[in-house]
């Protein structure tokens, strides 16, 4: 019983420390995180829909889910490149990374629109 209480306390303490650490991240990174969350959520809702009604226009389902997942992945890439604490991309200007992000998104969505049917 003491051990349970301590584990619950440990979990709470962990959660709080995570929250405070996260609050320290820069705002632009938080925007990107929010975007990724939004994309993943949309994908989840589409999967739930397909699970309930069947996958009849399978290509449409795939393109919808892939659009969300693809844009999430690109956003994650952008976050990696923009993050100042990441030494690997020190010399890459963030505007350049953003331009890449926009371009890749546009290409991804062209393909998605073609596959949507």
Partner 1 sequence: MDALRLIQYSSRNQCVLSVVLHILELCARPLDIPKTAKTSPQKGRISLTFTEMARSLAGFLVLVLVASICEGSSLFQPISDSHRSAALELFTLDHGSFESLEETYEALRTFQILGMEKKPDVTAAACRFISETVGSSSSTPKDLFYALKANSIAECKIHEKASKGIISSLNAAVRGASSLLDFYYSVGGLVLIKDQSTKADIHLADAEGVFRSVKALSQSDGRWRYSSNNPESSAFAAGIALETLAGIVSLASSELDQSLISTLKNDISKLFDSIEKYDDGTLYFNDKLVDGHEYQGPLSTTSSVLRGLTAFAAVTTGNLNLPGDKILGLAKFFLGIGVPGDAKDFFYQIDALACLESNRVSIPLILSLPSTVLSLTKKDSLKVRVTTVFGSNAPPLAVKLVGAFSSGSKDASLVASQELKFDQVSGLHILNDFSKSIDVGSYTFVFEVVLQEPEDEKVYVTGSQTKVPIFVTGHIKIENSEIVILDSDLGSIESQKKLDLAGKNAASLSANHLQKLRLSFQLTTPRGHAFKPHQAFLKLRHESEVEHIFVVENSGKQFELVLNFLGLVEKFFYLSGKYDMELTVGDAIMENSLLVAIGHIELDLPEAPEKAPRPPPQPVDPYSRYGPKAEITHIFRAPEKRPPQELSLAFLGLTILPLLGFLIGLLRLGVNMRNFPAKPVPATFGVLFHVGIGAVLLLYVFFWLKLDLFQTLKTLGFLGVFLVFVGHGVLSHLAAASAKLKSA
Interface residues with partner 1 (CB under 8 A)?
27, 30-31, 34-35, 37-39, 41-42, 45-46, 48-49, 52-54, 56, 93-96, 98-99, 102, 106, 109-110, 113-114, 116
Asked whether 72 and 41 are in contact (CB, 8 A), the reply is no
Task: Supply the minimum distance, in Å, between the C-beta of residue 17 and partner 1.
Answer: 21
Task: Supply the minimum distance, in Å, between the C-beta of residue 1 and partner 1.
Answer: 40
Max Cα distance, the chain (Å): 60
Residues 6+ positions from 42 with CB-CB distance below 8 Å: 68
Nearer to partner 1, 13 or 31 (CB): 31
Asked whether 66 and 114 are in contact (CB, 8 A), the reply is no
Task: Supply the minimum distance, in Å, between the C-beta of residue 7 and partner 1.
Answer: 31
Task: Supply the minimum distance, in Å, between the C-beta of residue 83 and partner 1.
Answer: 15
Nearer to partner 1, 80 or 102 (CB): 102
Asked whether 71 and 103 are in contact (CB, 8 A), the reply is no
Nearer to partner 1, 1 or 51 (CB): 51
Asked whether 60 and 102 are in contact (CB, 8 A), the reply is no
What number of other Cβ atoms are within 10 A of residue 117's Cβ? 10
């Amino acid at each position: 019983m003491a051990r349970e209480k301590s584990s619950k306390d440990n979990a709470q303490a962990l959660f709080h420390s995570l929250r405070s650490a996260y609050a320290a991240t820069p705002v632009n990174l938080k925007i990107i995180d929010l975007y990724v969350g939004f994309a993943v959520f949309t994908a989840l809702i589409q999967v739930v829909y397909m699970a309930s009604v069947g996958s009849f226009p399978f290509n449409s389902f795939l393109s919808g889910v892939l659009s969300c997942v693809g844009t999430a992945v690109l956003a994650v890439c952008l976050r990696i490149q923009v993050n100042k604490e990441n030494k690997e991309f020190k010399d890459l200007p963030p505007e350049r990374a953003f331009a890449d992000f926009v371009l890749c998104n546009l290409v991804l969505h062209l393909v998605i629109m073609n596959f949507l049917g």
